[in-house]
Amino acid sequence: MQRLVEMRGGFRNLMKEAPHLAPTLVIYTLPSWDQIDITTYPEKTIEDVMDTYSFIFPYILCPPELFRELLRTNHLRQKASAPMMLCEIEPEHVLEAHDLLARIEAFVPEDWAQPGQYYDEWLLIGTMYQSALAIYCTMSMQSLTILPNTLEMNSMRSIHGDRLLTSLRASAKLPRVMKFIVWPLVVAGVEALYRDEATRNCIESILTDQSRIQGTSSPLKARAVLRRYWQKGVPGWDECFDRPYVFII
């Protein structure tokens, strides 16, 4: 995918020349060792994406402040994977992971939510994506051992898991929001291995509904991946996504 984007002049140029491709955006869930490489000019690449964010936002609804941290999380996962394969941990990666998580925690959905008639829905979206990103950052960095499996860290993950599940259940009842919950739903599914079977059944049910609503098999693919992961019974982001997957949104 990276090569195809580069052939079109980079992400910024691609979105400007072919904005009609925005509805065909995909979620790439990749192992840490197979992240798209933006190490040459990471901040420039991130800024290029953010400059064209207006093309993306209508299709994923992730607040831009959080989307920026999502890109940085992916970049850190790519950087940290090489030392991990050598059984090494770079101290700067540990600090960067903690800084990332702190910025995600500092996001205030109430401040971001658009005032007016749909304030409650915007608040729900902001809360949902904040918790999803906090869980993704925590679990994916724990897979790389640059965030610890401590009681405090796991307690924070569990709190965000509760918030995310509450937000997803509420979103599933709102037609304007329910079409945009695939990625948070997948994140909830990864975290759900720490939870009971009823929670996992609920996530399966919503994914099944998403396939019908969106008219695509991608949520069913996500459901199959999560089922395989749940059957393994070993929690962890890279335990779930041990090879690349693509989910169309």
| pLDDT tens string 21-53 | 555 544 444 444 444 444 454 566 666 666 666
First to last CA, the chain: 16
Q: Amino acid identity, residue 8?
A: R
More confident residue, 164 or 61: 164
pLDDT band at 138 (very low <50, low <70, confident <90, very high): very high
Mean pLDDT for the stretch of residues 9-26 = 59
* Minimum mean pLDDT range among 37-51, 61-75, 119-133: 37-51
Most confident of 10-24, 25-39, 164-178, 189-203: 189-203
* Minimum mean pLDDT range among 59-68, 140-149, 163-172, 205-214: 59-68
Contact of 100 with 137, CB cutoff 8 Å: yes
Contact of 134 with 105, CB cutoff 8 Å: yes
77 CB neighbour count, 10 Å cutoff = 27
> Residue 103's pLDDT is what?
97
Neighbouring residues of 163: CB distance < 8 A, sequence distance ≥ 6: 127, 131
> Residue 167's pLDDT is what?
96
Contact of 226 with 195, CB cutoff 8 Å: no
* Minimum mean pLDDT range among 28-42, 55-69, 138-152: 28-42
More confident residue, 52 or 168: 168
Residue 142 has pLDDT above 90, yes or no: yes
> Residue 217's pLDDT is what?
87
Mean pLDDT for the stretch of residues 128-157 = 95
pTM for the model: 0.83
Mean pLDDT for the stretch of residues 158-182 = 92
Neighbouring residues of 107: CB distance < 8 A, sequence distance ≥ 6: 63, 65, 66, 126, 130
Contact of 131 with 178, CB cutoff 8 Å: no
SS3 call for 28: strand
Domain boundaries, the chain: 2-248
